[in-house]
Protein backbone atom coordinates (compact mmCIF):
# COMPACT_ATOMS: atom_id res chain seq x y z
CA UNK A 1 0.00 0.00 0.00
CA UNK A 2 1.18 3.51 -0.67
CA UNK A 3 0.79 6.24 1.95
CA UNK A 4 -2.47 7.65 0.56
CA UNK A 5 -3.88 4.15 0.96
CA UNK A 6 -2.52 3.77 4.49
CA UNK A 7 -3.98 7.19 5.36
CA UNK A 8 -7.48 6.33 4.17
CA UNK A 9 -8.86 4.81 7.42
CA UNK A 10 -7.99 8.08 9.17
CA UNK A 11 -9.62 10.37 6.59
CA UNK A 12 -13.05 11.97 6.88
CA UNK A 13 -15.42 9.06 6.24
CA UNK A 14 -18.47 11.12 5.31
CA UNK A 15 -18.00 10.51 1.57
CA UNK A 16 -19.19 7.07 0.52
CA UNK A 17 -16.13 6.32 -1.61
CA UNK A 18 -13.72 7.25 1.20
CA UNK A 19 -15.69 5.11 3.66
CA UNK A 20 -15.69 2.09 1.30
CA UNK A 21 -11.95 2.41 0.67
CA UNK A 22 -11.30 2.73 4.41
CA UNK A 23 -13.34 -0.40 5.11
CA UNK A 24 -11.51 -2.35 2.42
CA UNK A 25 -8.13 -1.24 3.76
CA UNK A 26 -9.08 -2.20 7.32
CA UNK A 27 -10.20 -5.61 6.05
CA UNK A 28 -6.90 -6.08 4.20
CA UNK A 29 -4.90 -5.01 7.26
CA UNK A 30 -6.88 -7.43 9.43
CA UNK A 31 -5.97 -10.28 7.07
CA UNK A 32 -2.34 -9.20 7.34
CA UNK A 33 -2.61 -9.23 11.14
CA UNK A 34 -3.96 -12.80 10.91
CA UNK A 35 -0.92 -13.70 8.75
CA UNK A 36 -3.15 -14.54 5.77
CA UNK A 37 -1.36 -11.89 3.73
CA UNK A 38 1.79 -9.82 4.15
CA UNK A 39 2.04 -6.06 4.14
CA UNK A 40 5.27 -4.73 2.64
CA UNK A 41 7.05 -1.79 4.24
CA UNK A 42 9.61 0.25 2.33
CA UNK A 43 11.96 3.16 2.70
CA UNK A 44 9.65 5.09 0.33
CA UNK A 45 6.89 4.88 2.94
CA UNK A 46 9.29 5.98 5.69
CA UNK A 47 10.50 8.88 3.56
CA UNK A 48 6.98 10.05 2.78
CA UNK A 49 5.87 9.77 6.40
CA UNK A 50 8.93 11.66 7.64
CA UNK A 51 8.03 14.56 5.36
CA UNK A 52 4.37 14.87 6.31
CA UNK A 53 3.04 17.73 8.40
CA UNK A 54 0.29 15.46 9.75
CA UNK A 55 2.26 13.91 12.61
CA UNK A 56 -0.78 12.24 14.24
CA UNK A 57 -1.65 10.39 11.03
CA UNK A 58 1.99 9.40 10.56
CA UNK A 59 2.04 7.88 14.05
CA UNK A 60 -1.19 5.96 13.34
CA UNK A 61 0.25 4.67 10.08
CA UNK A 62 3.44 3.60 11.85
CA UNK A 63 1.24 1.59 14.21
CA UNK A 64 -0.22 -0.21 11.19
CA UNK A 65 3.27 -0.75 9.77
CA UNK A 66 4.33 -2.50 12.97
CA UNK A 67 2.61 -5.64 11.61
CA UNK A 68 4.83 -5.79 8.53
CA UNK A 69 7.13 -8.75 8.15
CA UNK A 70 8.82 -7.54 4.97
CA UNK A 71 10.81 -4.31 4.81
CA UNK A 72 12.55 -3.40 1.59
CA UNK A 73 15.58 -1.16 1.86
CA UNK A 74 16.71 1.11 -0.92
CA UNK A 75 18.97 -0.44 -3.56
CA UNK A 76 20.51 0.97 -6.74
CA UNK A 77 18.14 -1.09 -8.90
CA UNK A 78 15.17 0.51 -7.12
CA UNK A 79 16.48 3.98 -7.89
CA UNK A 80 17.13 2.98 -11.52
CA UNK A 81 13.63 1.57 -11.87
CA UNK A 82 12.08 4.63 -10.22
CA UNK A 83 13.96 6.88 -12.63
CA UNK A 84 12.65 4.93 -15.60
CA UNK A 85 9.11 5.34 -14.25
CA UNK A 86 9.67 9.06 -13.73
CA UNK A 87 10.70 9.27 -17.40
CA UNK A 88 7.26 7.84 -18.26
CA UNK A 89 5.59 10.61 -16.25
CA UNK A 90 5.10 9.00 -12.84
CA UNK A 91 5.71 11.29 -9.87
CA UNK A 92 8.76 10.63 -7.70
CA UNK A 93 7.01 9.01 -4.72
CA UNK A 94 4.65 7.01 -6.94
CA UNK A 95 7.59 5.68 -8.93
CA UNK A 96 9.39 4.74 -5.71
CA UNK A 97 6.35 2.91 -4.30
CA UNK A 98 6.00 0.94 -7.54
CA UNK A 99 9.74 0.17 -7.73
CA UNK A 100 9.84 -1.04 -4.12
CA UNK A 101 6.73 -3.18 -4.66
CA UNK A 102 8.26 -4.70 -7.79
CA UNK A 103 11.51 -5.56 -5.97
CA UNK A 104 9.46 -7.09 -3.13
CA UNK A 105 7.67 -9.17 -5.76
CA UNK A 106 4.38 -8.12 -4.18
CA UNK A 107 1.18 -9.42 -5.76
CA UNK A 108 -0.31 -5.94 -5.96
CA UNK A 109 0.39 -2.34 -5.03
CA UNK A 110 -2.72 -0.67 -3.64
CA UNK A 111 -3.49 3.01 -3.91
CA UNK A 112 -6.50 5.31 -3.62
CA UNK A 113 -4.87 7.86 -5.94
CA UNK A 114 -6.95 8.01 -9.15
CA UNK A 115 -4.21 9.80 -11.08
CA UNK A 116 -1.72 7.06 -10.22
CA UNK A 117 -4.28 4.37 -11.08
CA UNK A 118 -4.88 5.91 -14.51
CA UNK A 119 -1.17 6.21 -15.23
CA UNK A 120 -0.52 2.64 -14.04
CA UNK A 121 -3.31 1.36 -16.27
CA UNK A 122 -1.85 3.26 -19.23
CA UNK A 123 1.58 1.68 -18.65
CA UNK A 124 0.41 -1.69 -17.30
CA UNK A 125 2.45 -3.64 -19.85
CA UNK A 126 5.58 -1.80 -18.69
CA UNK A 127 4.94 -2.40 -14.97
CA UNK A 128 6.01 -5.59 -13.26
CA UNK A 129 3.18 -5.30 -10.74
CA UNK A 130 -0.56 -4.76 -10.76
CA UNK A 131 -1.58 -1.38 -9.31
CA UNK A 132 -5.16 -1.34 -8.06
CA UNK A 133 -7.69 0.37 -5.84
CA UNK A 134 -8.18 -1.51 -2.53
CA UNK A 135 -11.96 -1.89 -2.99
CA UNK A 136 -11.67 -3.26 -6.53
CA UNK A 137 -8.81 -5.57 -5.63
CA UNK A 138 -10.40 -6.90 -2.42
CA UNK A 139 -13.69 -7.58 -4.23
CA UNK A 140 -11.84 -9.59 -6.89
CA UNK A 141 -10.06 -11.62 -4.19
CA UNK A 142 -13.30 -12.28 -2.30
CA UNK A 143 -14.94 -13.41 -5.55
CA UNK A 144 -12.06 -15.81 -6.27
CA UNK A 145 -12.28 -17.20 -2.73
CA UNK A 146 -16.02 -17.77 -3.11
CA UNK A 147 -15.51 -19.40 -6.53
CA UNK A 148 -12.94 -21.75 -4.99
CA UNK A 149 -15.35 -22.69 -2.20
CA UNK A 150 -18.00 -23.62 -4.76
CA UNK A 151 -15.58 -25.76 -6.76
Q: What would the pLDDT profile of 27-80 be if each residue is shown by its tens digit?
A: 999 999 999 999 999 999 999 999 888 888 889 999 999 999 889 989 999 999
Say whether domain 3-150 belongs to CATH 3.40.50.1010: yes
Residue 89 gets the label, from left (phi > 0), alpha (psi -120 to 50) or beta, of left
Taking the C-alpha atoms of residue 131 and residue 65, their distance in angstroms, rounded to an integer, is: 20
DSSP designation for 107: S
| Cβ atoms within 10 Å of 140's Cβ, excluding its own | 12
User: Per-domain residue ranges for the chain?
Assistant: 3-150
pTM of the model: 0.92
Amino acid sequence: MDVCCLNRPFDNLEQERVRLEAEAIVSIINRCKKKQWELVHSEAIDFELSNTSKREKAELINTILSITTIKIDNKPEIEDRANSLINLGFKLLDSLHIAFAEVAEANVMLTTDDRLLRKAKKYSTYLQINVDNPVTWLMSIIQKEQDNEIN
